[in-house]
Every structure is written in C-alpha cells, then in structure tokens.
Amino acid sequence: MSHYTANLRDIEFCLFDLLDRGSVLGRSIYGELDRETVMGMLEEMKRLSENDLAASFVEGDRLGVDFNPATGDAKLPPSFIKSYRAYMDNEWWRIDAPVEIGGTIIPASVRWAIAEMVLGSNPSVHIYASGTSFAHVAYALGNAQQKKLAQLMVDNDWGATMMLTEPDAGSDVGAGRSKAVEQADGTWHISGTKRFITSGDSDLNPNIIHYVLARREGGGPGTKGLSLFLIPKFMFDFETGALGKRNGVYVTKVEHKMGLNVSSTCEMNLGEKEPAVGYLLGDVHQGIAQMFKVIEFARMMVGTKAIATLSAGYQQALAYAKTRVQGGDMKVMNDKASPRVEIIRHPDVRRSLMVQKSYSEGMRALVLYTASIQDAIAIARAENEDSEKLEDLVALNDLLLPVVKGYGSEKSWTLLGTESLQTFGGSGFTQDWPLEQYVRDAKIDTLYEGTTAIQGLDFFFRKIVKDGGRALGLLGKEITTYAQAGGVNADEKAALLNSLGDLNAIVGVLVGHAMASQEKNDEIYKVGLNTSRCLMAVGDIITAWLLLRQADIATAKLPIAGKDLHFYEGKIASANFFVTNFLPHISADRKIVEATDNSIMEISDQAF
C-alpha cells in the first residue's frame, strides 16, 4: 500500500471555495481552462502520486545515490528512475515550460496544487524535474542563442542545477570566489568550487545545464560583481542538440545526508581538469537578480514540500490513531474491566491530531493563497493593467514568499517530529512506518534556500522596511476588514483582530530599534534577536485568517452538506482550535519583543 494519500478534497476546497479560482479559469491567458479540466488534472496527479511516484519513496531513501569518485558520475536506483520517468513521460513538465517551447499555461495556484502531491509522495522527483523551470529562466532572460538552449533543454529532457554555495561562502553569496574569464569566441571559462549543489549529477538526463554564479575578471566585490553563466555537463550543437565532448565541470563528492538521500547533493569542481566553458546569461552582468528568478521558485517549492510532508504525516498519524487500540477511556480509567479503545479516543492524542490538522490545512491555504496572488500578477501583466495595482501584487507576493518558505518549513519540521511521529509511540522511531523518513527529509526544508533566520531577516528588512510597510499594510487591511465584518465565528474574529494589533506592535518596536541603530548601531541587535519571531507571528496570523475564512464557508454549507458534513465540521473545529490555542502566543511574543535588551550580545563568547 502506498505511503501517501493526497488530500484532494481539501485542495479542491481551497482552490474553488476559499480562493474562487473558478473566477480566473476561462479568462485571459487561462481562457482554455475550466473547473472540469483542472479537476481532471488534479485527479490524475492524485492517482500518479499515490502509485507510480510513491512506489520508490522508501527504496530511494535506503539505496541513495551511487557515486563513482573516479569518473565523477552519480547513479540512482532503477525504481526511482521509473518514478521520475512516469512524471516526465506523462508530460507534467509542460506545466513549467513557456508556451512558446511546448508548455501549457495553467494558473500558479493549480500548478502548486499539483506540486503538493508530487512533493508529498516523492519530493526528489519534483526536484530533479526542475530542469524545465530552469529552461523557463533561460528562455525569459537569455539571448537568441540561449532561447534555443531552452528549447533543447525541454525537447531533450536535460536537467539543471543552481550553483551558488561555495565552501567559504555559504549564505554570504557575495563572498564567492568562483572566477569567470571571457574568451575570444564570446564564451567564458569558469573556475572554482561549489558545494551543496542539488542534482549536481545523475543518470536521469543525457545532459545537465548548470546555472553558476561567478565573478567576472574585473568584477567588483559583493553580490553586484557576480554574473550568471550557463555551463553544460556536455558541450552540444545549438542547432541539433547533438552532444559533444565532456565539459570541465565535475562532481568531486556526494554528501552523506540525514535525509532526502536519493537527491544527489554534490561538491562540484569547475575548470580543474579542463576548462569549464560557459555562456553569460542574456549578455548582461546581472547575476544575482537573474538567479533570484530561480531562488523565488525554489523557495516556493521548499515551503510547499514541507507543508505537503506535514499533510502526509498527519494522514498517517490519523489512520494509525483510528486503528491502534491501547488503554481504556480516560473517564473510566479506574475500571480495569472497561474495554480498550482506539488511541484517537484519548484527549492528548485528539489534541495532537487537531494541531496537525489545523496547521496542515491552514498552511496548504497559505501556499495556495500566495499562488493566487501569482495568478493575479500573470493576468495583470497579460492584460496590461495599471502599474500601481501590479506593483501592489508583486510586493504582496514578495512579502508572502519568506512566510511560505520560512514559516511553512519551520512549523512542518517541528510538528512532524513532535506530533505526527509522536502519535505512533515507539513505533514511530522505527523504519516500519514512513514517519521517520518524513522527519529526516523535512529537516532540510528549514535550511534549503536560506535558513529560517535568513528568511526572517529578509522578511523584515527587505519586505517590510525597504518596502515602507506597504505590502504588510495591504495584507493587514484585508485581514482587518474581514475580522471586523462580524457574522459567524465572531469571538474568533475578535481574537484575530486583537492578535493583529499585537503583531503591529511587534513590527513597530522592531522598526523603532532599526531607526535607533542609525544613532546607536548596537540597537540593530534587538531586531536580529526577533526577526524570526516576527516571521512566525505573521505566519500564525495569516493561517488563522485563512482557517477562519474556511470555517465561515463551511458554516454556510452545513445545512446542505450531505456527504461532506464531517468535512465541514472539521473545518469549523480546526479554525476554532487554532485561534484558541495558537493566537494567544502572539500576545506573549509582543511582551518578549518589548522587553528585549542586548544582554545576550554583551556576555562573553566563553560564557556559552
């Protein structure tokens, strides 16, 4: 039996009841789509993910990557290759390719709903299949020759990687030392070492295009001196795609990781054995801005992966709790003759399950709400809508991305270990159930593409301060309007409004410290001590808001619920539970932020 069960009913509810995605289908660039077509795609992905993709999930972890240090080649288990081919051969790559080179236009909300099922069933399939998304970047930003390269990547199923990290330059990308020297024929020779490169090599694809940040000769310091180069594993003919000689980019080591073991994470050497020939993307030296097109997609993917894994963990825990018989009902626990009950009847297990349910459903809504903003951006650009509206949408999307990635990954990893796995008791610590693999695989999500601390810093300094609070203000206004509207769940809406006030106070205190640091620079430490806390508070506010909106819809549908009666009851229960159990923490966070001083920064390093 598959380890994975897709929660398609909740995905459908989020897309069409909560976010009204039916209103964008049949319109503008999505004119050829309707709900029936979209649901057909989702149902087919449910079938594929629960069967073909999930089939190699465990074996891929156990066997991992077979690396040959002599040749620098990495090979994957045949069962995993079969799962990957099921995804690619059924042409799901089309949802990421530009329509001009064979892609299919679908709303981002539908794209990420599909991705949730892939990432929940076998995340490495989605990670290796990202070559089409990279091709999209080359097509959008490249010159005429590189647009041909994008077509070749799509037509020939070439893989791709993103090469940022170096051994001495992890999160500090601007400290990278990789060097690029221009050649007489317009190509570049790149030299250096990169580390932690996802999908650095495999036997899935005939060729791999590496997107590499390097500093051109004469390039200045920091990120502004970096350019983005496309470096193929094998040289090729731009007209026919025929492969030529091996290029000078080689894997020197595959990391031994605690999880996601079938995904090859590589150390890569450029230009040591022979020149690593590359092409400057778009003929412009704008490497970090270009790479952020990839990074933004990657952060959305990582957050979706984390949340999909939490949903899978909850489904496993729920099924186990309904069948595992252990102990008697607590209300008659002194009666030794009382019948034994399923553990779902025990109060703390029910509490734990509701924590998992509310967060997994609330954060699914967070992902799809963010994707719905991306839908609106795509339509606005296609219809040349006024620039101010488009700027607001772009700012809101930028604000939400670190929430999806940072908040989503942190909450999912924590809850998988403390609640989902815990439901199984001692059995959770064994490999008899997939939870231990979920926990290991999910930990990387808090580290990938910028740690949670980096997401918090980015969120506060770039998405709030640099933005002048515009996007946060727009979101806050929408939540306030909802919370003040009255109707059902009035007490919960009042609690949401109160928590929003606490959040605004937190942001105000941190902005005050940031401004004060202009005069007294160590005041900035008080901001750094609380940016992750601020990010988590924003995530809880948005999650509560989206859960309450779902509860309102469910309340209205209860009289005509039919077979969905329990589904709607669950929606109301999870919203009420979340508001009661998690929003009060924001008031406590406010007190902590207001009381923050620099004492922790003033003690000696030796005191730790």
Phi–psi pair at 179, nearest 5 degrees? -120, 140
Two tokens, residue 63:
């066997």
What is the 3-class SS of 422-460, one letter each residue? Answer: HHHHHHHHCCCCCHHHHHHHHHHHHCCCCCHHHHHHHHH
Identify which of 361, 333, 352, 351 has the alpha carbon closest to the alpha carbon of residue 428.
352
> Is residue 510 within a helix (H) or strand (E), and if so which, with residue range?
helix 490-516
Identify which of 238, 317, 229, 322 has the alpha carbon closest to the alpha carbon of residue 276.
229
Distance of alpha carbon 306 from the chain centroid = 6
Q: CB of 359 within 8 A of CB of 88? A: no
Contacts within 8 Å (CB) and 24+ apart, 563-572: 567/9, 567/13, 570/357, 571/13, 571/361, 571/547, 572/489
Identify which of 130, 21, 94, 40 has the alpha carbon closest to the alpha carbon of residue 371.
21
Residue appearing with tokens 């030529």: 244
Rounded to whole angstroms, the Cα distance separating 204 from 439 reads 26
What is the 3-class SS of 564-590, one letter each residue? Answer: HHHHHHHHHHHHHHHHHHHCHHHHHHH
Q: Which of 296, 449, 519, 523 is catalytic?
A: 449
> C-alpha angle 426/432/436, rounded to 5°?
70
Rounded to whole angstroms, the Cα distance separating 74 from 252 reads 10
The crossing angle, in degrees rounded to 10, of helices 287-323 and 387-402 is 50
Residue 316 CB contacts under 8 Å (≥ 6 apart), including other chains: 3, 420, 433, 434, 435, 438
449 catalytic residue (yes or no): yes
Amino acid at 127: I
Residues annotated as part of the active site: 449
